[in-house]
Amino acid sequence: MKLKRIVVWFRQDLRLHDNEALHYALERCDEIVPVYVFDERQFFDKTSFGFSKTDKYRTQFIIESVLDLKKSLQAIGSNLIIRIGKPEDEIYEIAKEVQASWVYCNRERTQEEVEVQNKLEKNLWSIGMEINYFRGKMLFYTQDLPFPVSHTPDTFSSFKKEVERIVPIRKPFDTPTSIAPISISIDEGQCPKISYFKLPEPQVDDRSVYHFKGGETEALARLKEFIWEDEAIKTYEDTRNGLIGTNYSSKLSPWLAQGCLSPKTIFYEVKAYETERIKNKSTYKLIYELYWRDFFRLMAKKHGNLVFLKGGYHDKSNPNWESDWTLFNIWKDGRTGIPFIDANMRELQQTGFMSNRGRQNVASFLIHDLKVNWLMGAEYFESMLLDYDPASNYGNWNYIAGVGSDPRPDRHFNVLTQAKKYDPEGEYVKQWIPELSDVPHQKIHDLESLSEEEQIHANIRLGDDYPKSIISTKKWSH
Ligand SMILES: Cc1cc2nc3c(=O)[nH]c(=O)nc-3n(C[C@H](O)[C@H](O)[C@H](O)COP(=O)(O)OP(=O)(O)OC[C@H]3O[C@@H](n4cnc5c(N)ncnc54)[C@H](O)[C@@H]3O)c2cc1C
């Protein structure tokens, strides 16, 4: 009898646990052919403002994640076929070659990913083959929601109120423990090294909040560490606005973004911790943050490409937002002369990560103080972030620009107040801007108030060793 064979196309779901497409493929056929395609456009193309779409940190992370997936599949009898090119062509060719009955994948919802899906679907139709789509990105299943996606409330608080109490979180799918080997002869391909994408290997910076390594194995280890070993979850509510160190927040976002970790798995791990150890506002807060993630994904589904436009889905573009490269580059390179902004931007540039508190401040500063087109900032984040996720990134930028889901029209942070509150001793700023290490902490965030004499004592000459502030911070002083 003819073998029923399914190509499982791994995308941003680089895991074996709670993988719906993989689960059903194994249930419904005799043999699966797991495939990953490095989409050349994601690595070689530029964003509209000319940044590389995927810079070195995330590229390295994806390579590690793919290698880890391959190793895990091999350990249970299967393998991962790797290609570089356009998934719509590569998957199509493989499906033909192995005489597959279907292609299974977990569905993506944002523009570029959907376009690839659609093109592949068309190619497959031409040979009478189909894609079956599954879910796997969110905590909630859209079909369990009390409203159609098109009626998702546009504010987070209404969304949460409507879903939290009544929508169950489905149980994760089991991790397969054995998979039949691929019986047909096929070139397994090679995982590229980062140099293939003309990028340098990222150097480890000791100041990094975490030495991120891609892959499901590392993701599950970090989850275990954060919840069970370090029990950092117990105090998360109080620490989550931190800036330094491993445990002020979970640091799970890079793995969530590549699908090395399922949000449902996090949810049930937190529930287990609550049952076995302690349930408090901190354990709840981590789940609450995952609601935000779902919310932005639903906004991206509901409003489609509008989330990528300057005016957002309210079409409220501010005419003052200019694509000013001079101001933008000063912001990007951490040379604004405002230590809290510069420290965060330098951390991003040197590690691919920035705290949530930092992201909110630098975004607000670019948009509301420098009045620069927020899309430039969003695209730069897209390029640099280890944890870049289209819905979360553009959703948050929309929110701060006041063109998305925030009911407040102008989400403008007082950077000075924020800096003093979240970095009272200037420890974070001094970590990333060593030129300021001798400045007394009372003045570290407010360099404008540093007299000539104080500058001499602090071994710093503003304007020479460190830039003078690009805008006056006096407006924030009261
Ligand atoms: C301008 C801006 C851009 C951002 N871009 C991204 C992005 O591209 N990818 C991304 O994953 N997050 C993004 N965030 C959200 C947030 O900053 C990160 O998710 C968080 O800092 C990751 O660290 P963590 O895993 O330790 O988070 P934790 O505080 O431990 O939170 C746990 C998880 O909840 C989710 N989460 C937390 N806050 C948010 C939020 N505001 N929006 C959506 N999900 C959230 C994340 O999946 C996170 O891993 C952005 C925020 C801002 C203000």
Atom of ligand 1 nearest to the CA of 377: 1
Beta-bridge partner residues of 8: 34, 104
- Measured by CA distance, the residue closest to atom 46 of ligand 1 is 253
**Ligand 1 centre distance from Cα of residue 290 (Å):** 9
Quickly count: other Cβ atoms within 10 Å of residue 229's Cβ.
9
Return the structure tokens found at 428. Answer: 């974070």
Q: Where are the domains of the chain?
A: 5-136, 138-171+216-304, 314-476
Best residue among 12, 357, 392 to mutate for probing ligand 1, ranked by most atoms within 8 Å of CB: 392
- Measured by CA distance, the residue closest to atom 49 of ligand 1 is 253
Atom of ligand 1 nearest to the CA of 254: 11
Is the full-model pTM beyond 0.85? yes
26 alpha-carbon distance from chain centroid: 29
**Ligand 1 centre distance from Cα of residue 207 (Å):** 20
Each residue's pLDDT, cut to its tens digit, for the chain (478 residues) gives 567 999 999 999 999 999 999 999 999 999 999 999 999 999 999 999 999 999 999 999 999 999 999 999 999 999 999 999 999 999 999 999 999 999 999 988 888 888 999 999 999 999 999 999 999 889 999 999 999 999 999 999 999 999 998 999 999 999 999 999 999 999 999 999 999 999 999 999 999 999 999 999 999 999 999 999 999 999 999 999 999 999 999 999 999 999 999 999 999 999 999 999 999 999 999 999 999 999 999 999 999 989 999 988 877 777 778 999 999 999 999 999 999 999 999 999 999 999 999 999 999 999 999 999 999 999 999 999 999 999 999 999 999 998 887 666 668 999 999 999 999 999 999 999 999 999 999 999 999 999 999 999 999 999 999 999 999 888 777 5
**Ligand 1 centre distance from Cα of residue 319 (Å):** 28
> Does the CB atom of residue 296 touch ligand 1 within 6 A?
yes
Q: What is the pLDDT of residue 409?
A: 65
> Does the CB atom of residue 53 touch ligand 1 within 6 A?
no
Q: What is the pLDDT of residue 474?
A: 81
**Ligand 1 centre distance from Cα of residue 355 (Å):** 8
User: So what CATH class is 138-171+216-304?
Assistant: mainly alpha
> Does the CB atom of residue 393 touch ligand 1 within 6 A?
yes
Q: What is the pLDDT of residue 478?
A: 59
Which CATH number is associated with domain 5-136? Answer: 3.40.50.620
> Does the CB atom of residue 247 touch ligand 1 within 6 A?
no
> Does the CB atom of residue 292 touch ligand 1 within 6 A?
yes
| Residue 265: closest CA among 167, 173, 134 | 173
User: So what CATH class is 314-476?
Assistant: mainly alpha
Return the structure tokens found at 399. Answer: 């929110």
Q: What is the pLDDT of residue 105?
A: 96
Beta-bridge partner residues of 104: 8, 132
**Ligand 1 centre distance from Cα of residue 242 (Å):** 13
Return the ∠ at Cα 142 (arms to 140 and 146), rounded to 5°: 95
> Does the CB atom of residue 398 touch ligand 1 within 6 A?
no
Tell me the C-alpha distance between 22 and 18, whole Å.
Answer: 9
Beta-bridge partner residues of 6: 32, 102
> Does the CB atom of residue 388 touch ligand 1 within 6 A?
yes
